[in-house]
Amino acid sequence: ARNEQLSRFSGPGRTRDGVPVSLLANIGTAEDATAAAGQDLEGVGLFRTEFLYLDRASAPSVEEQTQSYLAVLRPFGERRVVVRTLDAGADKPLPFAPTGDEENPALGVRGLRLGRRGGSLLSDQLDALAAAAGQCAADVWVMAPMIATAEEATWFADRARAAGLSTVGVMVEVPAAALRAQQVLADVDFVSLGTNDLAQYTMAADRMLGELAPLLDPWQPALLDLIAMTCAGAGGSKPVGVCGEAGGDPLLAPVLAGLGVSSLSMAPSRIPAVRAMLALHDRDRCAQMAAAARAAADAGAARAAVMDLLDSEA
């Protein structure tokens, strides 16, 4: 019965009054791509490219990468595919790109920091991605993980554009990038909030420690404040996505839309419920939910405040 209810809604994500909120998939492999492409969704909001190479001893060549990316891009036809450059290090070490011994890997040389060390890790990947984009119809967007400063965003954008990629963005998953979103966005086309790491770094709570899960709750008002700040920095003129776990919480979806987020990326199975929640609420109502959640004292109270607003509709 629940599935029947959800299937009343289909097509692109939007609020009840028609504000678009793109519904996208998180994927990591060609198999994920094929499965997701067959579903009612607008494309990919996060392709975690490091998942292709976690067990590789040696770096993949440009040609090998080009073929891997084509296998992921082609199933989506002309849809958007947001490709994240290698997010190696910390919880996702790549054998061929060692970070060295680090006391605190989550605070270490990971993501773009590793790509910036030199060598051909990043340039090979950008070349392969540009080659793949040129051989298929997909709307390829590229973004870098673990950006902390506007200078890093600009550095990445320069290299991605020089490689021939046209839509370039960065992830906002370090509080510093959210605090200065306007400057971070100056030289890029879009940002995507990685709420898993943004929660980890905001709350100083290791995302791998189950004991700290309550601190990592995406309903934490501090996290919502940083998301709001990122949207304010974008000023409504550039896309702001969410691609962490928070993107797949149906109750949080209208809150995120109310904060100004323009796309949500998640495990494909979560899309029908998220689409339905958005379709049931006007933009103003979403903004009201966002304000109520941010005004709450803690994550539990934020959830309860939004539930209260939902109950008052019934």
Site of tokens 């987020």: 261
Q: Classify residue 144 as left (phi > 0), alpha (psi -120 to 50) or beta.
A: beta
Which tokens go with 134?
Answer: 């040129």
Please report, as a single letter, which amino acid is at residue 263.
S
> Considering the rule CB under 6 A, would residue 202 count as an interface residue with ligand PEP?
no
For Mg ion, which stretch binds (CB under 5 A), given 191-199, 218-226, 228-236, 304-312?
A: 191-199
- 305, 296 contact by CB (below 8 A): yes
Q: Give the separation between CA 156 and CA 209, rounded to whole angstroms.
A: 31
Return the number of the residue (42 or 173) whose C-beta is nearest Mg ion: 173
Please report, as a single letter, which amino acid is at residue 170.
V
Binding residues: 48, 84, 173, 196-197, 207
Neighbours of 175 (CB within 10 A): 18
Find residue 266's DSSP bridge partners: 25
Site residues (CB under 6 A) for ligand PEP, limited to 66-125 = 87
Taking CB within 5 to 8 Å according to partner kind, which of ligand PEP, Mg ion, none is near residue 195?
ligand PEP
* The one among 197, 259, 274, 285 contacting Mg ion by CB under 5 A: 197
For ligand PEP, which stretch binds (CB under 6 A), given 70-78, 125-133, 193-201, 304-312?
A: 193-201
CB of 145 to Mg ion, least distance (A): 6
Taking CB within 5 to 8 Å according to partner kind, which of ligand PEP, Mg ion, none is near residue 48?
ligand PEP
For ligand PEP, which stretch binds (CB under 6 A), given 57-65, 136-144, 188-196, 209-217?
A: 188-196
* The one among 15, 22, 195, 220 contacting ligand PEP by CB under 6 A: 195
* Choice among 136, 231, 243, 286 that is catalytic: 243
For ligand PEP, which stretch binds (CB under 6 A), given 112-120, 189-197, 208-216, 223-231?
A: 189-197
Show the site string, 157-176: x = touches ligand PEP by CB under 6 A, - = not: ----------------x---
CB of 248 to ligand PEP, least distance (A): 11
Per-residue burial over 189-217, b if 16 or more Cβ lie within 10 Å, else e, is bbbbbbbbbbbbbbbebebeeeeeeebbb
DSSP letter string, 173-205: -SHHHHHTHHHHHTT-SEEEE-HHHHHHHHHT-
Q: Give the separation between CA 66 and CA 90, rounded to whole angstroms.
A: 26
Taking CB within 5 to 8 Å according to partner kind, which of ligand PEP, Mg ion, none is near residue 109?
none
* Residue 243 annotated among the catalytic residues of the structure: yes
Q: Of 99, 102, 45, 97, which is closest to residue 264 (Cα–Cα)?
A: 45
- 138, 81 contact by CB (below 8 A): yes
CB of 194 to ligand PEP, least distance (A): 3
Site residues (CB under 5 A) for Mg ion, limited to 167-186 = 173
* The one among 21, 33, 46, 165 contacting ligand PEP by CB under 6 A: 46
> Considering the rule CB under 6 A, would residue 281 count as an interface residue with ligand PEP?
no
Q: Of 185, 128, 183, which is closest to residue 160 (Cα–Cα)?
A: 128
Q: Of 199, 218, 298, which is closest to residue 259 (Cα–Cα)?
A: 218
> Considering the rule CB under 6 A, would residue 243 count as an interface residue with ligand PEP?
yes
Would you please indicate which residues are annotated as catalytic (active-site) residues? 243
Contacts with ligand PEP, residue ranges (CB under 6 A): 46, 48, 87, 173, 194-197, 243-244
